[in-house]
Structure 1
């Protein structure tokens, strides 16, 4: 089944309030609602709680991938009580491990499984190898029914959403469904 822009925006707006800046209560006049008071934020917290409860499934999958690749789990914040919208990890290709302080020393592939809906993403610099396909196959085997979000939809900016690490007007669908960790690997 093909994913649509409308479907993805419906998911984003279910978990992120439109036009509400993420400001701490101390900076808002008394009796004014804040981001953390919204129904959308409550749903995001509930989704993160479900993600923590289902963390063993994620952990088993990254253990399998970690047996094959140099992998770093980026989901520890979610596991320890954070409100992340996805499980995330990075894979370092052999050239990423070279002791050269340049872009080539950074991870060249990340992958994410959303806790907000049946979506995943593999974000790669595009090196010609089998790793993105292997990761996608592993995700689809572990999370039946999950689909990748195509770049033409995932890179679309959601102009009226504010979230941690991204200012209003800068969050993309990818960032909303996978967190700012999506941006840690340059394509």
Structure 2
């Protein structure tokens, strides 16, 4: 099934209010909308709560992948009570050809499973190996019905959403559905 730009923006706008800056109440004039008071933010918090409840499924999947690859779970802020929109992890590829990851390894692939809709993303440097396909296969087996967001849609800017660390006009569909962690691995 093909996913469309319109469908993805509908998901984004369900969880992120349009035109509302994410700033604290003390900086907003009385009567003005505050991000945390919006229905969209409430839905994001509910999705994160659901993600915490379903965390054992994610943990089992990354354990399986971690048995094969040097992996770092980036979902710990979600477990600690954050309102992250996705589970996230990074895979480290060795700089040398040795089988054991070392301190000099580099993150060269991140992957994310959205808590906001049946979507996932794999952000890779494009190194020629089987890792992206293996990760996709594992995600699709663990989360039936989830599908990847194509780059031509995921990299599209959402002009009227404010996110942590990004001003309006800077967040992409990928960042909205997977968090700023998406940007931690450059392709």
TM-score normalised by the shorter chain: which range applies? over 0.9
1:64-109 deviation digits (Å, cap 9, x = unpaired): 0000000000000001100000000000011285666xxxx53000
Q: Give 1:65's aligned residue.
A: 65
Give, in whole Å, the separation in 2 of the partners of 1:73 and 1:99: 16
How many correspondences in the alignment? 183
**Structure 2 stretches lacking a partner, 5+ long:** none
1:91-139 deviation digits (Å, cap 9, x = unpaired): 0011285666xxxx53000000000000000100000000000000000
Alignment of 1:125-144 (within 5 A): 125-144=125-144
Report the TM-score, using the length of structure 2 for normalisation: 0.95
Give, in whole Å, the separation in 1 of the partners of 2:106 and 2:5: 31
Q: Give 2:86's aligned residue.
A: 86
Q: Give 1:179's aligned residue.
A: 179
Give, in whole Å, the separation in 1 of the partners of 2:95 and 2:30: 54
Q: Give 2:156's aligned residue.
A: 156
**Structure 1 stretches lacking a partner, 5+ long:** none
Q: RMSD of the alignment, in Å?
A: 1.2
1:24-51 deviation digits (Å, cap 9, x = unpaired): 0010122322011100000000000000
| Pairing 1:55–2:55 present | yes
Q: Give 2:95's aligned residue.
A: 95
